[in-house]
Structure 1
């Protein structure tokens, strides 16, 4: 019988082979779940969000009770993390919301138009520190308990032989500024003051790149998310997307890959139109992780010889489908997207009302 260390290394090797476009002994399964895990085990979301150690424990218990996973994408959760990528306030269960109500990102114009000049003139770090303190209610201090618990979550996950795959999130200026300005106002900025927006983005990148490098060096993750949500192709014309989105992703992905860490392109919404641009990213170093909206079969056609693909069991299927339907779709993914260069997972996140038997069917599908 394999030791925990041997099991961990077996699973890690399986994942790394998939990323390198090699054929592993079987397709790896690396799910993500936060609110689902809490609901599955009857943990109130207010408790789950308030205690990072509990969130880690809950994720591990939930997934290991449903089958044998090779890794999990996130190892603990706190809704404040969403504020770091969208610079928006978040309503918490047990505070602004009922105890078991899902957290909510508030869409509000917290950043003013003159803040672009602050970023350009004083630097993104100056702007961000002031923004965290004065407009996000001292976000840095509120995240300290989560960061303090993170090493323990890493160890607890690895001690079960499970790979903590991509527990860290970074993103590009577009996502952060869009959240801070609010989406409608920011999109207007792209037309009214495009040069100023680009100047602020360019001024932000040195800090974003150095922050990503330091995260890679201090935390030493196997992979991290390079997230994309509002920057998806379906929201912008090609001209705007090619100016304000892709060049910044390319810089960030290359910086992460240069540190020996796998960039996981966690791209929600529909990116089908611009999949060919991803061929400019480092070959056999990245993972493309769509949420079920992008055509994953088209992604295989375009990217299959260039980067690993992860996904994309749809939220609707996990919630409304049957175990038989989930199993059949997973087998199709393994057959048509894999078996090389593929990691099985849900699309984006496992929804809170997913049926446990459907999640189990997804996990078990890799064993057939």
Structure 2
């Protein structure tokens, strides 16, 4: 068994909450890897071979067990949130972080256009006209992706997030802007939203099935950003979000793909809902806003949890503080069924010594804390 297969099996064992030889580390760290490897942001998102080499160099230095992407383009964000992105080297400085532009990019009347045209045709037209022509801009990214995956394979580092499954909620919350989507759409026109959501979900399930087949995906993100209980009541979550989560999860399980619920912000109030899913089949990826210890208590020992080293600790803490955090975290919720990473992405201004300390603390844990 080669290094790639060993690392992948370690991840799969963590998902199944089985004993592993060391606690796996699987960062998501796009902006950080550019900074740590001295690549300008504008080059990182345009020269994908250079970006891939930078990512590999950083992950190799960490002895990472897996990654959550091999390369990245912020043009992906516009397709996922029906929004425009401000980019380094264009709207922003050459080494500034990309940003989503929060605005009402989509008008309410365009829901009727979706009903007339169908989701796929409307989305293609909308992205071409109002989202920086993102599909065209993404061609170099998609062209580079296969050879970058090949480099990662030979380096022995599997990618556990091959693409992102977007819920209808997230599309329109991005395109319509948060205020308009919540106040004018969800509150005032729930029946219309159900009709539109059903159209999008039906299309996406077919598209994602094909994408899994085409990419031979190992794992996918099922994203939860503005669908968390900081913004959405548990009842509204069940009505507008959970049907997509469950449908995407079922597709992943059917096709032997690891579903990773990437949950930004505080999800404490709806953790119980994930007990509806089968144990040992998915990853719950939490940032430091959700009470990760509560998640373990609610969901029990048979759900794999990824996270949740706080971003502020990575940027402003010391190596001793990082190691202490990781060790205490594994004491409390592990060691089995754990994958160590930061909450969401490693921040671009993280201290390299702290990122290395996070990885070292995870990898050394079973040596200093042997299990019976």
Scaled by the length of structure 2, what TM-score is found? Answer: 0.95
Residues 184-223 of structure 1 show CA distances to partners (whole Å, capped at 9, x for unaligned) of 1000111111111111101111111112111211101211
Q: Secondary structure at the match of 1:215?
A: helix
CA contact (8 A) 2:16 2:302 kept: no
Give the structure 2 partner of residue 20 of structure 1: 16
Tell me if structure 1 keeps the 8 A contact 2:33–2:348. yes
1:40 paired residue number: 36
Separation (CA, whole Å) in 1 of partners of 2:100 and 2:277? 31
- 110, 114, 134: which is aligned to 2:109? 114
Q: Partner residue of 2:52? A: 56
Task: Structure 2 unaligned segments of length 5 or more: list them.
Answer: 365-372
Instruction: Name which of structure 1's ranges 322-331 and 113-122 shifts more when overlaid on structure 2.
Output: 113-122
Residue correspondence of structure 1 range 231-246 to structure 2 within 5 A: 231-246=227-242
Q: Distance in 2 between matches of 1:196 and 1:367?
A: 50
Q: Which residue of 1 aligns with 2:179?
A: 184
Within 5 Å, give how 1:275-294 maps onto structure 2.
275-294=271-290
Q: Deviations over 1:154-213 (max 9, x none)?
A: 111111111122131111000001101011100011111111111110111111111211
- 1:80 paired to 2:75: yes
Q: CA deviation at 1:33?
A: 0.7
The equivalent residue for 2:65 is 70
How many residue pairs get matched?
Answer: 363
| Mapping for residues 217-228 of structure 1, pairs under 5 Å | 217-228=213-224
Corresponding residue SS for 2:193:
helix
Pick the aligned partner of 1:256 from 244, 252, 269. 252
Q: Bigger CA drift: 114-123 or 279-288? A: 114-123
Q: In 2, Cα distance between the equivalents of 1:252 and 1:75? A: 22
Between stretches 240-249 and 91-100, larger displacement belongs to 240-249
Q: Are the counterparts in 2 of residues 17 and 23 from structure 1 also a CA contact under 8 Å?
A: yes
Cross-structure match for 1:356: 352
Residue segments in structure 1 that go unaligned for 5+ positions in a row: none
1:300 aligns with 2:275: no
Task: Give me the whole-angstrom Cα distance separating, in 2, the residues matched to 1:282 and 1:53.
Answer: 39
**Residue 30 of structure 1 aligns with which residue?**
26
Contact 2:323 2:358 (C-alpha < 8 Å) held by counterparts: yes
Q: What is residue 320 of structure 2 aligned with on the other side?
A: 324
Answer yes or no: is 1:335 the counterpart of 2:331. Answer: yes
SS of corresponding position for 1:270: coil
How far residue 306 of structure 1 moved from its aligned partner, in angstroms, is: 4.1
Question: Residue in 1 aligned with 2:367?
Answer: none
- The answer to whether residue 96 in structure 2 is matched with residue 101 in structure 1 is yes
Secondary structure of 2:155 counterpart: coil
Report if the CA contact (8 A) 2:322-2:358 is conserved: yes
SS in 2 for 1:164: coil
Answer whether contact 2:315 2:351 (CA < 8 A) is retained.
yes
Q: CA deviation at 1:63?
A: 2.3
Aligned equivalents of 2:99, 2:296: Cα separation in 1: 33
Indicate the SS of the match to 2:14.
helix
